[in-house]
Amino acid sequence: MTAADHAAKPPLRILLCAPRGFCAGVVRAIDAVEEALRRYGAPVYVRHEIVHNKFVVDSLKRKGAIFVEELDEVPDTQAPVIFSAHGVAKSVPEHASRRNLFAIDATCPLVTKVHREAEIHHRKGRHILLIGHNGHPEVVGTMGQLPPGAITLVETPEDARAITPPEGAELAYVTQTTLSVDDTAEMIAILRERFSNLAAPHKEDICYATTNRQEAVKQVAPQVDAMIVVGAPNSSNSQRLREAAERAGCPRALLVQRAAEIDWSQFANITRLGITAGASAPEVLVDEIIAAFSEQFEVAVEIATTAEEKVFFPLPRVLRSDAAE
């Protein structure tokens, strides 16, 4: 590139949201697959995508992980079978036990917390309202902790206004961990107004990482011409980041998995760009996208930090270094 070419590139100020990217639960889940491969060799079976990111899944496939949607796809084997970070219904480990599979549960501890809360409420005779997205693996897993009919799913404010729980039942609510903080607060407010006896979680169910990433986006979004969220279309927390950017005043907020997906027509004439990443998106993809913009613009990167994260979750017990080899 000549000096003239270099000078011709327009300036672009990138505000890089912090925190962004991997959360402690995602790190734990990926590390669990890699440690199982190290200890036991390939193959290691993984039920559902370990996290919702194609780059991560493909890299683990190359190392010997085999991804399946259901345990029926796993042959009779002594190889480890790992449950994803999103959690599973109780029927899944029961199925694994009947088949004598070597199951390792990589469910995020914050999702497990929601499962335990739902069980406690159920034991106390309460009907549970679950705020979440129908069909999301985390919601499927949470609903599968209890008998059919014990949980009513609430997806929208309209649902919150319309649901009719069992007459006379005491009520409690739990939530999916990756929801929009603002949307969830609206639905909780509607439910509390309708049901005065509604029991709440001991501690907010939406996880620290979801909350922190949304807050960083809200701070940056009004300052930029466009926002890129690095993440997968099936990643709930990534989609919520895109929505948060739009609501906070960003003219264009786009979900992008890889640099090759960038639609450059969306970024003509911008001078300020925000970038964040969903909790299942690795930092290497953020670097890749910044590099792609550096080809088109004279880039200056600033870190916009709104919180410090020091959360760590240990590996599942069977994979820890102090466990028997």
The candidate with the shortest Cα–Cα distance to 157, out of 193, 127, 123, 121, is 193
Q: Measured between alpha carbons, how far is 237 from 108 in angstroms, rounded to an integer?
A: 14
Q: Measured between alpha carbons, how far is 141 from 185 in angstroms, rounded to an integer?
A: 22
Q: What is the pLDDT of residue 182?
A: 93
Residue 122: both structure tokens together: 């159920």
Whether the per-residue pLDDT at 247 is higher than 90: the answer is yes
pLDDT digits (tens, 9 = 90+) for 142-187: 999 999 999 999 999 999 999 999 999 999 999 999 999 999 999 9
Count of residues in the chain: 325
Whether the per-residue pLDDT at 322 is higher than 80: the answer is no
Reported as a pLDDT band with limits 50, 70 and 90, residue 205 is confident
Q: What is the pLDDT of residue 7?
A: 59
What percentage of the chain has pLDDT greater than the value 70?
A: 97
Q: What is the pLDDT of residue 273?
A: 98
Q: What is the pLDDT of residue 317?
A: 95
What is the Cα gyration radius of the chain? 22
Reported as a pLDDT band with limits 50, 70 and 90, residue 321 is confident
Residues carrying an active site annotation: 138
Q: Is 7 helix (H, G, I), strand (E, B) or coil?
A: helix
List the domains of the chain with CATH numbers: 3-23+208-305 (3.40.1010.20), 24-107 (3.40.50.11270), 110-199 (3.40.1010.20)
> Phi-psi region for residue 135, left (φ > 0), alpha (ψ -120 to 50) or beta?
left
Q: Measured between alpha carbons, how far is 212 from 221 in angstroms, rounded to an integer?
A: 14
pLDDT digits (tens, 9 = 90+) for 298-311: 999 999 999 999 99
Q: What are phi and psi of 14, to 5 degrees?
A: -100, 125
**Region 259-285: what's the mean pLDDT?**
96
Q: What are phi and psi of 83, to 5 degrees?
A: -90, 140
Q: Say what the pTM is.
A: 0.92
Q: What is the pLDDT of residue 204?
A: 83
